[in-house]
Amino acid sequence: MQLRKNTPQPKKDEIIYSITAKEYADMSEDERAKWSPVKSKYEKIPLFCKISLIIGALCAVIYAIICASESFADFFNTYVSTTFRFLFAKITNLLPFSLAELIIISLPIIAFISIWYLLKFRCDTKRSSMVSIVCIFSILSLFLSSFVLCFAAGYKGASLDKKLNIESQAVGADDLYKTSEYLVNKINELSAEIGYGEDDFSVMPYSFKEMNEKLLEAYDSYCKDHDFISTFNSRLKPVLLSEAMSYAHITGIYSFFTGETNINVNFPDYTIPYTAAHEMAHQRGFAREDEANMIAFLVCIESNDPYIQYSAYLNVFEYVASALYRADNKKFKQIYNELNSFTYHEQQAYNAFFEKYDNSVASQVSGVVNDTYLKTQGTAGKKSYGMVVDLTVAYLKSQNYIE
């Protein structure tokens, strides 16, 4: 805070004296009477913050309409959100690293410096303090606005089973067994074209960048016959802190505020193509987890690359086999024993790998946060990941792959 001495209007070449807020506070009442406060330059809300708040208010109205109308949600997701997702992805494609990861890593430092700066330089009066709070709120408003503009409509639009013209419904043990059997047959066929390492894990026969290109080709191929999904080139981002993500049981994450698909490269190779395709599905507007899983499966089996197909069949088999285990343990053991020896040992190796990260504090915290977030969007929470089983059974029946 600055103050000006109570002097007559200065003439030319006269000096206006000023003191700091601390000096003013240390004065006696008589001395203070000789000075008058100068309005802080930080008592006005910046234009950027005003614009952010206006955008936030508009997005709140848009979100209310999205929640109320499935058809509007589909329209908004297809024509508006796709544009924002495309632009964000194109901008961050220029970066060889994950901007989202950099922001998250830097967030504690940014928050500390920002709070220190505000308290020291921007909160010298009550009004300037309120303005600082408004500025912080405007930044949060901008973040939430990006969620509405880029991603929110994907949770409220028509379900994937409608778009695929299939009937998704609860399935029994027989359906699960038949589906598992179909998937195992595919896995066994593909395993003959897959290489395995001494650690019993299959080996992806190309680089991360080459996998990215193969998945883009698979998406392009799938989109030719399905107009409900958009296609554009995007750059998968391997996460530097993949080990930390493993403790949180996160294999990948789509950051809507940067448009990036971030992949945990610490997990075994066979999980990576399917995980990448899953996050790319989010990037193309499929927000629900079961639907992103299903799109990833359909796109990967569309690929002409055996390892990408293998990744899809094996990852979806894990979901279906898990459901079969709960429904009929005897049939689960029977189908599990039908796996070829290479894949069987790969599954055993995965269990040994994951034991290190099982029941970690980070996974419990991230699990609660993710479950809560998904439920706020009207889904079944973490259970929604496994709902891909119902979609898979319905799809295979519609294609007459199983009865």
- Give the residue, 123 or 67, on which the prediction is more confident: 67
Which tens digit of pLDDT belongs to each residue from 297-330? 999 999 999 999 999 999 999 999 999 999 999 9
Q: What does the pLDDT look like over 194-215, one tens digit per residue?
A: 999 999 999 999 999 999 999 9
Which tens digits make up the pLDDT trace of 338-353? 999 999 999 999 999 9
The pLDDT tens digits for 383-396 are 667 789 999 999 99
pLDDT tens-digit map of 36-61: 555 556 678 889 999 999 999 999 99
Q: How far apart are CA 349 and CA 86, in angstroms?
A: 38
Q: What is the DSSP letter of 239?
A: -
- CA distance linking residue 238 with residue 32, whole number of Å: 61
Burial class, 251, CB count within 10 angstroms (exposed 0-12 / middle 13-18 / buried 19+): buried
Q: For residue 172, how many C-alpha atoms fall within 13 Å in the half-sphere facing its CB?
A: 2
Q: What pTM was computed for the model? A: 0.87
In the predicted structure, residue 4 carries a pLDDT above the cut 80 = no
Measure the CA–CA gap between 309 and 40, rounded to whole angstroms: 64
Q: E strands, 27-131, where?
A: 35-38
Q: For CA atoms 222, 265, 82, 377, give the dihedral sign.
A: positive
Instruction: Report the percent of the chain where pLDDT is more than 70.
Output: 90
Q: How far is CA 188 from CA 83, 131, 160, 270, 403, in A?
A: 41, 64, 29, 14, 21
Residues paired with residue 253 on neighbouring β-strands, in sequence order: 262
Yes or no: say if 247 and 236 are a contact pair by the CB < 8 Å rule: no
